[in-house]
Amino acid sequence: MAGQALDYIDVYARSAGLVVKPRTVFVEGTSDVQYFKIAADLEAASGGPSLLDESFCITAAGERDQGGVDGVVQQVVTFRNLGRTLLDRDGRAVYRFLGLFDNDFAGRRALKLTTTLNLGIQEFKDVFCLYPLMNPAVGDPAAVGRAIRNANVGFSTVDWEIEDMLDPKFLDVFEQSNPSAVKSKVESPGKHIHREYTVEGKAALLRFTRENAIRSDVDRIVAALIGLRSYIRV
């Protein structure tokens, strides 16, 4: 990196089995990463821009027990602290890191604890929960938060995970052919439907998505990638 004999952040990340880029979003698990990659690949294949590139990536906080909400918290705190010490020749941070939690009880609790216990870490700046509509937004955390919340009126009564970002009709087709994959469904006043899947159901849906999804089926995931790029200022 410019002005540095050693990119010790990259060295540390590699030693931990993690891939980081100058702009990195940590997510709870590898399935989140795969859904974002499927969406980015479909966007590129349709003639759209490259949303995952040498400057920006989505990275799982860890495998299995090393991931989840605790893993996201650990990586955001660790890499954010490291990131403040590696500067380019103009004195600007070479790296910037965000954490993205599922919008469920565990994710919301982890976000609250992270912002309460770690000085300087702010919601809608350093850590986010996943929303159905993550529109691009710039400005201070309050402005970004208003933009996201205003776009998601009617959502607050249901949890939200990466699988819920797929097109509802696509999810209906999957459920019709895999009825045992879904444990329960909850619908919000805004007609957002959250499905709870079995462990096997989650794996089956990922395979189904990889094999059958077209660009329109991943609209909301593509939009989330575009939004995340704006929040992290790629």
Is the separation of the CB atoms in 23 and 230 below 8 Å?
no
The predicted structure's pLDDT at residue 48: 96
Q: What is the pLDDT of residues 38-71, one digit of tens each?
A: 999 999 999 999 999 999 999 999 876 567 999 9
pLDDT in tens, 213-224: 999 999 999 999
Query: What is the tens place of the pLDDT at every residue in 121-166?
Result: 999 999 999 999 999 999 999 999 999 999 998 787 789 999 999 9
> Given this model, what pLDDT does residue 5 score?
53
Could you tell me the CA-to-CA distances from 139 to 81, 112, 232 in Å, in that order?
A: 22, 21, 11
- Residue with the bigger pLDDT between 106 and 190: it is 106
The whole-model pTM stands at 0.94
Domains and CATH numbers, the chain: 8-153+218-232 (3.40.50)
State mean pLDDT over 164-184.
Answer: 96
**Which is nearest to 45 in space by CA: 218, 226, 234, 228?**
218
User: What's the pLDDT at 140?
Assistant: 94
The predicted structure's pLDDT at residue 67 = 72
Across all residues in the chain, what is the average pLDDT?
93
Residue 3's pLDDT band (boundaries 50, 70, 90)? Answer: very low
8 Å CB contact between 97 and 21: no
Angle at 203 between CA 61 and CA 108, to 5 degrees: 45
Helices H, strands E: what count in the chain?
8, 6
CA–CA dist 167, 174 (Å, integer): 11
How many Å apart are CA 53 and CA 229, to the nearest integer? 11
3-class DSSP assignment, residue 38: helix
